[in-house]
Amino acid sequence: MKVVLQDLTKIYPSRTRKGEEVRAVDAFTFEIPDGKLVGLLGPSGCGKSTTLNLISGLEAPTKGKVFFGEDDVTALPPEKRGVGLVFQNYALYPHLTVRQNILFPLQNLRGKEKLTKQEMNTRAEEAAGLVQIDALMDRKPSELSGGQQQRVAIARALVKMPRILLMDEPLSNLDARLRLQTREEIRRIQRETGITTIFVTHDQEEAMSISDLIVVMKDGVVHQIGKPQSVYDEPVNLFVAKFLGTPGINLFTGRVQQETLLIGEEAVLPVKGCADGKVIVGIRPEGFIPSEHGCVSCHMERVEVMGRDTSVVSTHPCALNEVIRSIISAEDVPNAASGVIRFEIKPNKTYLFNPATEERIRFTGTEQGGET
């Protein structure tokens, strides 16, 4: 079932008479294709949870429409939309066993949808099997670990075979190891059921790793929608570039002069098609190659080796970040004693932004390509 959001807007009136109204979601238009896993990504307070509530029907939009497939569901209350929702805190009924929790939505079915006890049990067992909690059916939620509770919550959302599955920060209450495991699990469950799934997260790594599509939001406004890798490779503005990637993108002040990018006084890259003027230069950590004749000279601080990654931490007078982090291959580790380290930079890992509007400035380099 595809989900179409049309000019979706939610405005909260101000609490005080003189205060400003809050535009939690501003003119969100987007079509989520059938059977995809979509991550709504943004810093906290960006309106992603509100968007989820608008889709579920728990909140009514100020303006705009929501379609499930061809049906306009904007006016439908949540109970008639047929969505499954997994809450951030799971919201499992603490006094009911796992089985009773999973059965709960089925017992609400009335009329021609009503199931026999036998059918309900079969459905509950199936849902529990899908999330691999069939052995825990007679426990209370308090006797389960966080990850297990999360699975129960997913099973409860899936058991009524929803048209859309919504998840609000599904991994934020789990510890790091469990988070990795559970996000794979969510991916697997979504693939197996083929249900269009929308989840909300503030963790870009989480969204990047499992989503088919990510929607990057800030202050109620959608900044970019696309496949995780293409959003990472082609950010439309400074916010998106900064928000995606760990370690984050390195930023410099620079300027363009006669189609050449300068950082400080060093000519760094030929940038065809760019007007002269000041720019913000963003370079991904993997965009640096240490080289004796490199065009960016930084002051070396230290080399950090974390697992398989080797990163060089250095400083540069024009950098907007405190330190520049570059991830390099282990063979290229420079002599740590030398004070100055020089880098070549990869044009396809380098982005220019307008310092005023923060919009991306496109350019064509002379030596396009390299690794992606």
Choice between 85 and 171, CB closer to another protein:
85
Choice between 49 and 311, CB closer to another protein:
49
Q: Which residues bind another protein (CB under 8 A)?
A: 56, 58, 77-80, 83-85, 87, 89, 91, 93-96, 104-105, 107-110, 156, 160
Choice between 96 and 178, CB closer to another protein:
96
Nearest approach, Cβ of residue 176 and another protein (Å)? 24
Give the whole-angstrom CA distance, residue 69 versus residue 71. Answer: 6
Nearest approach, Cβ of residue 146 and another protein (Å)? 16
8 A C-beta contact, residue 106 and residue 161: no
Choice between 29 and 89, CB closer to another protein:
89
Choice between 79 and 292, CB closer to another protein:
79
Nearest approach, Cβ of residue 120 and another protein (Å)? 13
Nearest approach, Cβ of residue 115 and another protein (Å)? 14
Place of tokens 């503005």: 237
Cross-sheet strand order for the sheet of 324-328: 288-290, 340-345, 296-306, 309-315, 324-328
Q: Which residues contact 159 (CB under 8 A, 6 or more apart)?
A: 102, 103, 105, 106, 123, 124, 126, 127
Choice between 197 and 224, CB closer to another protein:
197
Nearest approach, Cβ of residue 57 and another protein (Å)? 8
Spatial CA neighbour of 172 closest among 87, 98, 242:
87
Name the amino acid, one letter, at 354. Answer: N
Nearest approach, Cβ of residue 36 and another protein (Å)? 21
Nearest approach, Cβ of residue 108 and another protein (Å)? 5
Choice between 102 and 240, CB closer to another protein:
102
Spatial CA neighbour of 70 closest among 40, 105, 34:
34
Which pairing describes strands 37-41 and 196-201: parallel, antiparallel, or unpaired?
parallel
Helix axes of 176-193 and 117-130: crossing angle, nearest 10 degrees? 130
Question: CA geometry: angle at 212 spanning 221 and 124, to 5°?
Answer: 105
